[in-house]
Amino acid sequence: MKRAAIVLVVLALVGAAGYWIYKVRYEAPPPSVMTSPVTRGDIVDAVGASGTLEAVTTVQVGTQVSGTIQELYADFNSIVRKGQVIARLDPSLFTTQIDQARANLVRAEADVERLRVALEDARSKLARAENLAEQQLIPAQDLEAAQLTVRSTEAQLRSSQAQVTQARATLNQNQVNLQHTVIEAPIDGIVISRNVDVGQTVAASMQAPTLFVLAADLTKMKVNASIDEADVGRIRPGQVVRFRVDAYPDRDFTGSVSQVRLQPVVTSNVVTYATVIDVPNPDLLLKPGMTANVNIEIARRENVLRAPNAALRFRPTAETFAALGLPVPEELTRPRGARSNARGTGEGTATPAAPGAPGTGVAAPAAPAAAPPAPGAVPGRVGDIGTLRTDVARARVDGSLQEQAPRPRGEGGRRPDGARGGSPEERRQQLRERLAQMPPGERAAFLERLKARGVDVTGLEAGASQPAAPQAPGGQSGRPAVAAQSAAPGPAARPAPGTSAAPGSPGTPATFDALFGPLPVTESVGRAWVYAEGQLRPVRLRLGVTDGTHTEVLEGEVNEGLPLVTNVAIAQAAASNAGRSPLMGPQRGGPPGARNTGGGSRR
């Protein structure tokens, strides 16, 4: 009896141990919800590139004549002034050439003097022959011979005078070559390169050899950065640039974009464009040739709410809600086509918790005044946050953003009166304004096309020559005043690319970069999820600039420190282990681990 009791106790312990092992090793643990908090800080949207530091003005000093370096008066890092002698070539060869040219000049001048005497003698003989010919004392052949001698001597004199001019020019050229043996600094600057030594022979036959390289002013430098073709569309002159060099890894240097060159550079089928960045260098810490790792700031936001991008990309599935023990939203149970339609109409979306509900951790905004929905607004598009999508359009006028009330539209994008462009008078007024902004030639061609279509252009030809006056909202045209202001030419008005504006005329840009305006403001709508009090609730957000890790939160029911769901990991036991003994180990490969149930992309 006692032995039977012991056996029963042992069997009970073995069964309990087996059940415990089964529970520990094979029972799926509860899902793990991973979150990341909303923080406050700076967000910088930047384009990274690399470039080389160079002096703004670099001059290569060469020589126009060949010879041997006799003296050097400058070395590396020497500070030179304009006109200062920095090198001298051996002048002996050029001195000999000058002596030879001077002798040739003296001989040519002597020949001119000899021919002048011969010309005077020939002229006197011609005068004597003419007197004798008048008295018929000599034959006509002698008179003709005297005349021929005079003309021949005059021609020889002119040729000799030309030889004198040529000999004088050769002498001047040799003297200039002798002056070129003295190398002077063309600008004030610093010698950053010396390519010759004393005794070295330089030959200036095909091209001028470079003796020195001078940098005009190292307190102002530039970076030639190579920007990829995928990012060059976001680069504008005047953007702030921050970069570092290997010599000072802990120090940031700043500059600004001055030029985006149109010449493409193709390297291994990769197209880049050279971007010139002006860099001040008052401390002379930066040196030519340094490699700069630049970050061109496209947009910067300081001390703003930041949502992690992982939370914005998280999209729960029906399996996620089932694992958390929550009811699956209706939009996740519908087929894919019906789900997309419901998303477009705002139906079937999970309703977020009321702002300030207990346990949500969501800040409760101030209750706005009740207002009727805007015409044409889609109900349920943004959930319970009516301020995430405003009912105003933004118009850029003279570089600033002003709010412009949208035009009321009904079903199918038409106006309430049933016409696409309003009343006929409104359409004619719009046509007048359009014609007023056209060049004369294009306006005449447009009117001819209207006549060919049978449109009555009476009153349009006379009114098209004068620009339409802007009207206040509610006037006859029904256009806001902002739209009229944007159509009127202002100080920043410029012709579009391809127009034939005369160079130098008012409003004509001086460079190609001036044709492009500032980048548009980055705004989008996203959604994040909050897990609190055992509930998974969506939060609608209006988003701004992103740096790849965080995104600026412009508007939404979030506050600093609010944890947003980034992932839900669900552990699942292997189906192949079902029915096997809990005392036996797993099959090859082991039990499956946790798997992510959230996915999708940011919308």
CATH number for the domain that contains residue 204: 2.40.50.100
- Do 75 and 191 share a domain, yes or no? yes
Q: Is 206 found in the same domain as 82?
A: yes
Looking at the domain assignment, is residue 287 inside a domain? yes
Q: Assess whether 444 and 485 both reside in one domain.
A: yes
Whether residue 451 is contained in a domain is answered as yes
The amino acid present at 131, given as its one-letter code, is: N
Q: How far apart are CA 456 and CA 462, in angstroms?
A: 13
In a domain, residue 16? The reply is: no
Same domain, 95 and 80: no
- By CB atoms closer than 10 A (0-12, 13-18, 19+), residue 170 is middle
133, 176: one domain = yes
The reported pLDDT for the residue numbered 470 is: 41
Question: What is the C-alpha to C-alpha distance for residues 598 and 555, in angstroms, rounded to an integer?
Answer: 24
What phi, psi does 430 have (nearest 5°)?
Answer: -65, -35
Q: How many domains are there within the chain?
A: 5
* Per-residue model confidence as pLDDT tens digits over 7-37: 787 788 878 777 777 665 655 677 889 999 9
* Nearest residue to 476 via CA among 435, 433, 420, 412: 433
Residues 132 and 270 in one domain: no
Cα 49 to Cα 255: distance, rounded to the nearest angstrom: 14
The CA distance from 294 to 53, in Å, is 11
Show which of 133, 163, 180 is a domain's final residue: 180
Distance in Å from the first CA to the final CA of the chain: 73
Instruction: Indicate whether 228 and 207 sit together in one domain.
Output: no
Half-sphere exposure of 12 (CA within 13 A, CB side): 6
Q: Any idea which of 434-443, 544-553, 580-589 has the lowest mean pLDDT?
A: 580-589
CB burial string 68-100: b at 16+ within 10 A, e below: ebeebebeeebebeeeeebbbbebebbeebbee
- Position 164 in a domain: yes
Mean pLDDT for the stretch of residues 480-488: 37
pLDDT of residue 28: 61
| Residue pair 316/529 in contact by the 8 Å Cβ criterion | yes
Of 161, 192, 216, the one marking the end of a domain is 216
Domain membership of residue 536 (yes or no) is no
Distances (CA, A) of 41 to 38, 444, 560: 10, 57, 10
Q: pTM above 0.75?
A: no
**3-state SS record for 16-81:** HHHHHHHHHHHCCCCCEEEEEECEEEEEEEEEEEEEEEEECCEEEEECCCCEEEEEECCCCCCEEC
Q: Which of 97-101, 205-209, 407-411, 554-558 has the lowest mean pLDDT?
A: 407-411
What is the span of the domain harbouring residue 201?
57-87+183-216
Is 475 inside a domain boundary?
Answer: yes
Do 150 and 299 fall into the same domain? no
Residue 106 in any domain: the answer is yes
CA distance 468 to 351: 49
Please state, in angstroms and rounded to a whole number, the distance separating the CA atoms of residues 420 and 427: 9
Phi and psi torsions of 244, nearest 5°:
-130, 155
Q: What is the CATH number of the domain that holds 222?
A: 2.40.30.170
Based on the fold, state whether residues 148 and 230 are members of the same structural domain.
Answer: no
Task: Supply φ then ψ for residue 410, to 5 degrees.
Answer: -110, -150
Residue 7 pLDDT: 76
Predicted pLDDT of residue 518: 82
One domain for residues 49 and 61: no
Which of 446, 466, 494 finishes a domain? 494
Tokens of 368: 């706005």
Q: Are residues 83 and 230 in the same domain?
A: no
Write the pLDDT tens digit of every residue in 107-134. 999 999 999 999 999 999 999 999 998 9
Closest CA to 387 of 366, 414, 358, 406: 366
Q: Which two tokens stand for residue 141?
A: 């052949």
In a domain, 378, yes or no: no
Instruction: Read off the pLDDT of residues 58-98 as tens digits, 9 standing for 90 and up.
Output: 999 999 999 999 999 999 999 999 999 999 999 999 999 99
Same domain, 472 and 400: yes
**Rounded Cα distance, 409 and 415, in Å:** 5
pLDDT tens-digit profile of 498-510? 444 444 555 567 7
Angle at 80 between CA 77 and CA 81, to 5 degrees: 160
Query: What is the C-alpha radius of gyration for the chain, rounded to an integer number of angstroms?
Result: 45
